[in-house]
Structure 1
């Protein structure tokens, strides 16, 4: 049975920052769909992160500091529940599915460490469970896809939803439950196309030849898919780093740019020795 027909764990977080090293979870969703079983549609978990929520973050997900202080669960309790849900899925062999889920898993890892639970790697017994990252897969399937607009990127969730025929509602977007379930539907569609005979697959690239063979790398078991995504993430990071260091980047050019290709969780930064100069 193809992985897209099995049980899937849809995951997303809304946070205080786009930097996973200092981001705190404000809202999280972790639910189960598929596999011939009824969905486990848990309510989104609202968390009081214990820090001020910047206006920039509130503008994205709609939660401000006062609201989460009144309605959110305490940070340590909330983080423990999110971590437990991820570990539970992996221990059952269920893939965690999300869009750019490397960000979410890295945030969860740092929050787990911050609150004294240990790293995700330790909690999972030394190896991560299966992951399906629709952002990484989208970039593999259509490397040269153009931005939709100055505001909408080529591989953001909204664009991927449109490419794979998943309905989108701007009013509901950027809520953890909505984004997690849309990513899951995109993943399902990716897997469904991969399960088709090559000649029956739709073409998702625009005017750049026959891309249907690229789906072959998705028509594999979960361990192989995990390894493929790990390789693609590293290749994508190296390509972006090369571009940033080149004159092609224009105003964004940075000759010393370093882009990490780690996936599905960024390694925690090494701690500076006490008294070290920074």
Structure 2
């Protein structure tokens, strides 16, 4: 059976910002869908322990005051999210995440910050990730326009119920990869191991292309140095520079 006809586990975070090394998780969702079984969704709101910038609050709708009043301790949320993901990974279910290297790296750094065993240390080489952003850039390289989740939903005619809430984004990402796999035999017709390995290479090529674009664009040259090529997780740099 093709992988996209089985169970998928959508994963999404909403955060205080876009710096994976210093920003914090505000909301999270792990949703299991497909495979002929009912949808199972788990969502969390954390008190990140820091101020939520106004710009971030405008994106996901969670203010500092709301997070403090309604959110659970960050360490507790991070531990439960890691546990939920570890369970699906060890059950052989692929994790679907839009721009996976952001969400998985953010979760990794939060785990280390709060003394929680990181997901990669729990599941090791069993982690299989499907990233609609990487897939879309591979199968339709020259399409003009944006590549955000809302854009992909329009392109692949997928319903998005409430963009920038973690649960809506997680299920929409699953719908997008399902649609791509359904339309493209070169994506839907290969095994999960091969697809994961292919995405590692595709993501690197895509990042290198972006860095090259920055280097060639006046005023953007400095941005080339910020582009990371690792996928689906930017390795943690331990003391002394070891990864």
Matched, 1:238 2:208: yes
Matched, 1:134 2:124: no
- Aligned position for 1:220: 190
- Aligned position for 1:182: 172
Q: Distance in 2 between matches of 1:35 and 1:178?
A: 19
CA contact (8 A) 2:82 2:118 kept: no
Residues 211-267 of structure 1: CA distance to partner in whole angstroms, max 9, x if unpaired? xxxxx1442000000001000001011111111112xx1321238625221011111
Q: TM-score, normalised by structure 2?
A: 0.94
- Aligned position for 1:9: 9
SS at match of 1:14: strand
CA contact (8 A) 2:45 2:70 kept: yes
Aligned residue-pair number: 241
- Aligned position for 2:93: 94
Q: Distance in 1 between matches of 2:30 and 2:52?
A: 22
Matched, 1:58 2:69: no
Residues 166-190 of structure 1: CA distance to partner in whole angstroms, max 9, x if unpaired? 1345xx1100001111111001111
**Based on CA coordinates, which of the two structures has the bigger radius of gyration?**
1
- Aligned position for 1:71: 70
SS at match of 1:254: helix
Q: Distance in 2 between matches of 1:180 and 1:113?
A: 24
Residues 23-46 of structure 1: CA distance to partner in whole angstroms, max 9, x if unpaired? 21100000110112121123x211
- Aligned position for 1:250: 218
SS at match of 1:10: strand
Q: TM-score, normalised by structure 1?
A: 0.82
The structure with higher relative contact order (CA 8 Å, sep 6+) is: 2
User: Which structure is higher in helix share?
Assistant: 2
1:52 is displaced (CA, Å) by 1.1
CA contact (8 A) 2:128 2:193 kept: yes
- List 4+ stretches of structure 1 deviating above 6 A: none
